[in-house]
Amino acid sequence: MQAVESRSSVPLIIVGLLAVLTLAVGKLVDSGQGVRVALAVVLVIVFAGLAFLSPKHLILTMAVWLASLGLVRRVVGGSLLEAGDPLLVVGPASLIILAIVAAGKNTRLPKTSLTYLVLLLQIVAFLSIFNPLQGGVMVGLAGLLFIPIPTLAFWAGRAFCNDKSLTQVFKLLGLLAVPAAIYGLYQSFYGFPEWDARWLANFGYVSLNVNGVTRPFASFSSATDYNTFLGLGLVAWVMFLLRRRPIIGVLTSLTIFLALVYGSQRLIIVTGLGGVALVLAARRRWPMGGALLLGLVLLVTSPFLLSYFEPKLDSFQAQSPLLEHQIQGLSDPFGQNSTLRQRTEMVTAGVSSVAENPLGMGIGAPTIAATRFGGSSATLRSTDADPSNMAVALGIPGLVLYLTLSFVAFRKAYNLAAERRDALSYAVLAALGVTVTQWLTGGQYAVAWIPWLLLGWVDKQASPSVKRAVSRSGATRTVHSPSRPSGR
């Protein structure tokens, strides 16, 4: 009887909480500044409920939300809070909740070297919030949102991603890349809508400008986020969606590639070549050293090939500074129109900073948290690359951890792809290649968590017990046979 009464009180408690929440949201909206806070609170509550009911669906929902986050931030009314935009907290909060839900399931999975390396990186990053060199504990806490929190997707990947659900993630990324590419091309050829132009006037940053023309960024918060997402979308179309609808697939892939070219960021093209090299080598089951050699050959020969065709593209370049910037930088990597030398100097300076600060400056130092939460421009040391960012943030321990983790992760992903030789393992390997050196840079809200989700799946699939189970069931051969490359 007592149990029945306690159960009957549950709906009343829920109704009461919803009433309080409704009043709170209404009060926030009335305050003018609270529109974004109210929306963020509601989304976190909804996503938290989804995390407990269906974590796999939350992963798909997060992909949609983060791909549209930049557009939502520019369209939603209400002024920003002094500390920043509360809508940026929705993604990290969802990842934290996902990691908590995944904790129980991960205890049943075998631990590997990659598991312990990721956990150690997260612990070291958390402890670094107390490093006074970054400008205070608040800077460190805010820095957690940009760099370590996306790594929590690793535990979600281990716990919730099987072959079927991860294939769904890739297909969704491919579908989301289509409107993103069209939006970006519209910005490139026709200019920016009112909401984008207003954001540029208030918050636009210097690197968006290319010879007086602004790079496209579509529905994302930055041009880098946009271009990297297009790269992942292109991987999804080539690996999963191209064969089922060849004509639509080819046209769509060309549209995404065109948007990438006009995105005018060379790094994604270079890392894309690296991803292609990894997949080709894994398909031939070459040693990993052969894959690295093939990647080096592609990188060295591509500027010569592009420089041969550059004169034939002069008329197109003259019409678009974005295209001119892209082609000239790729065809002459060390020329005056290329930023390779500047980026190399930034990375070198970041890595060499360990001589001055062996334990780093704190996890907030390489992020915008260094200037927004009590720090100053002097404590901001962003280098736009993972190894140098880890050196700046965590010093020698962080740099060693990153290099070791990256090697172990790529070796596991490469060996898995060479063993399975199916579309999914190739897609994971290519995606890791496309995003390499950008797993821990912070600020890429739409894509920062995806490599870690993929690494979680790799870690689980590479464990001996899962391999034995897959071998007994024949799941790999059955599920992926339609996508298996010819010539196997």
Residues 182-194: pLDDT tens digits?
Answer: 999 999 888 889 9
Of 364, 365, 368, the C-alpha closest to 381 is 365
**Residue 170, SS3 per DSSP:** helix
- The backbone region for 375, taken as left when phi is positive above 0, alpha when psi lies in -120 to 50, beta otherwise, is beta
Residue-level pLDDT, tens digit, the chain, 488 residues: 444 444 444 455 555 555 555 555 555 555 455 778 888 888 898 899 888 888 999 999 999 999 999 998 888 876 555 557 888 889 999 999 999 999 877 667 788 999 999 999 999 999 999 988 887 888 888 888 888 999 999 999 999 999 999 999 999 999 999 999 999 999 988 888 998 888 888 776 656 666 667 888 999 988 889 999 999 999 999 888 777 778 888 899 999 999 988 887 777 888 888 888 888 888 888 888 877 777 777 766 665 565 555 544 554 544 566 666 666 656 556 666 666 677 778 888 888 888 888 998 888 888 776 666 665 555 566 777 888 889 999 999 999 999 999 999 999 999 999 999 999 999 999 999 999 888 988 778 899 999 999 999 999 997 765 655 555 555 444 333 334 443 33
Task: Spell out the long-range contacts of 145-148 with Cβ–Cβ below 8 A and sequence spacing 24 or more.
Answer: 145/88, 145/89, 145/92, 145/369, 146/367, 146/368, 146/369, 146/442, 146/443, 146/448, 147/363, 147/366, 147/367, 147/389, 147/393, 147/440, 147/441, 147/442, 148/121, 148/122, 148/363
Answer positive or negative: Cα dihedral of 304, 299, 187, 84.
Answer: negative
List all residues 6 or more positions away from 255 whose beta carbon is below 8 Å from its beta carbon: 178, 181, 182, 185
pLDDT score for 303 = 58
- pTM for the full predicted model: 0.85
Nearest to 88 by CA among 461, 445, 435: 445
Question: Cβ distance 129 to 137 under 8 Å?
Answer: yes
